[in-house]
Amino acid sequence: STTPVTVTVTGAAGQIGYALLFRIASGQLLGPDTPVRLRLLEIPQAVKAAEGTAMELDDCAFPLLSGIDITDDANAAFDGANVALLVGARPRTKGMERGDLLEANGGIFAPQGRAINAGAADDIRVLVVGNPANTNALIAQAAAPDVPAERFTAMTRLDHNRALAQLSKKLSVPLTEIKKMTIWGNHSATQYPDLFHAEVNGKSAAEQVEESWLRDEFIPTVAKRGAAIIEARGASSAASAANAAIDHVYDWVNGTAEGDWTSAAIPSDGSYGVPEGIISSFPVTSRNGRWEIVQGLDIDAFSREKIDASVAELVEEREAVKALGLL
Ligand code: NAI
């Protein structure tokens, strides 16, 4: 199609924004036939930096980039938006309690949800990257009652890709031979990367690794990878986070491969005992622009306990946000 798709990116002047915008403008978010119009939302102090990034975007002369608007006004940013990548968030600072963190993010994601409700296009699709991503997505969704709930998602694709990378290294197999990886639950240290349904060369991944590696190395390495990146790089994951956001939206719009699935945090329909409405990571496929939870997987006692623990954390976050009047 030749009509540009409007893509709104919040936190555009941040590190993920810098790694993300050029890939969107080059066509990697939606595909090589779709022109893009970018809308960058920032806080007033960072608008100038976003303008600098926009100058560089101009200087790339991307044929698919049909325009860039920069604003500190959420209503302007989401007006007519088809895709919204909510990256900007309030980070946890020293001594901050979870309640304070959720409240501060409520102050960002509730107004953004209202602006999406008021002005976004009918086909709006929202991916929340900014942490705590699952609960921020829930806050934005609650503020947008006229938008179908399923359009609000949160990112666990980075965790999914990290799990693929760890398994590929462990078994010395190409990534292309690994299928059906799953991240369950919250994008936090309680997440559960599941090898019992993953397949390598068509055979169970769990059966090809030692149980101790799965339990004591694989799961914690994936779950704590974000902290390991900060420790090594002196800054949090940025290019890999941007890459995962690209993967999530690309698959949502263009569909997942036949015979495989991916991971995304989407509103639960009650599948696998996850309370309805919680935005939790599941094994998902995408068809015709909609995510569907993969059904019928057997969940053994080990996996059940891990999924339940992460979902319990999400339920607690939902309760905390409810208590703040945000839902
Ligand atoms: P950053 O601090 O470099 O950039 C954040 C940007 O957001 C800043 O430019 C800031 O001015 C902007 N911002 C803050 N409040 C805003 C608002 N109300 N409206 C618009 N913009 C606003 O942070 P970075 O590294 O880009 O990370 C962004 C978020 O992504 C963080 O919350 C981080 O924890 C999260 N993250 C999530 C991952 C995931 O897998 N779900 C992976 C990596 C990071």
pLDDT 10s digits, 77-134: 999 999 999 999 998 888 888 889 999 999 999 999 999 999 999 999 999 999 999 9
What is the predicted pLDDT for the residue at 92?
Answer: 87
67 has a pLDDT exceeding 80:
yes
Ligand 1 centroid vs 88 CA: distance in angstroms? 4
What is the predicted pLDDT for the residue at 235?
Answer: 95
**Residue 40 CB–ligand 1 contact under 6 Å:** no
What is the predicted pLDDT for the residue at 297?
Answer: 98
**Residue 43 CB–ligand 1 contact under 6 Å:** yes
Ligand 1 centroid vs 17 CA: distance in angstroms? 8
Which residue out of 8, 20, 42, 263 has the highest number of ligand 1 atoms within 8 Å of its CB and is therefore the one to mutate? 42
pLDDT 10s digits, 233-267: 999 999 999 999 999 999 999 999 999 999 999 99
Ligand 1 centroid vs 327 CA: distance in angstroms? 22
187 classed as catalytic: yes
1 has a pLDDT exceeding 70:
no
Residue 159 CA: nearest ligand 1 atom is 40
Residue 157 CA: nearest ligand 1 atom is 40
**Residue 140 CB–ligand 1 contact under 6 Å:** no
Which residue out of 69, 78, 128, 129 has the highest number of ligand 1 atoms within 8 Å of its CB and is therefore the one to mutate? 129
Residue 193 contacts residue 219 (beta carbons within 8 Å): yes
Q: Whose CA is nearest to atom 35 of ligand 1?
A: 130
**Residue 85 CB–ligand 1 contact under 6 Å:** no
- For residues 215 and 71, give the distance between their C-alpha atoms in angstroms, rounded to a whole number: 46
pLDDT 10s digits, 159-210: 999 999 999 999 999 999 999 999 999 999 999 999 999 999 999 999 999 9
Q: What is the ipTM of this complex?
A: 0.99
pLDDT 10s digits, 7-61: 999 999 999 999 999 999 999 999 999 999 999 999 999 999 999 999 999 999 9
What is the predicted pLDDT for the residue at 95?
Answer: 86
**DSSP-assigned beta bridge partners for residue 145:** none
Residue 13 CA: nearest ligand 1 atom is 9
**Choice among 160, 187, 197, 248 that is catalytic:** 187
Ligand 1 centroid vs 297 CA: distance in angstroms? 34
Ligand 1 centroid vs 176 CA: distance in angstroms? 31
pLDDT 10s digits, 267-295: 999 999 999 999 999 999 999 999 999 99
Residue 169 neighbours by CB distance under 10 Å: 10
153 has a pLDDT exceeding 70:
yes
Residue type, 111: P
pTM above 0.95, yes or no: yes
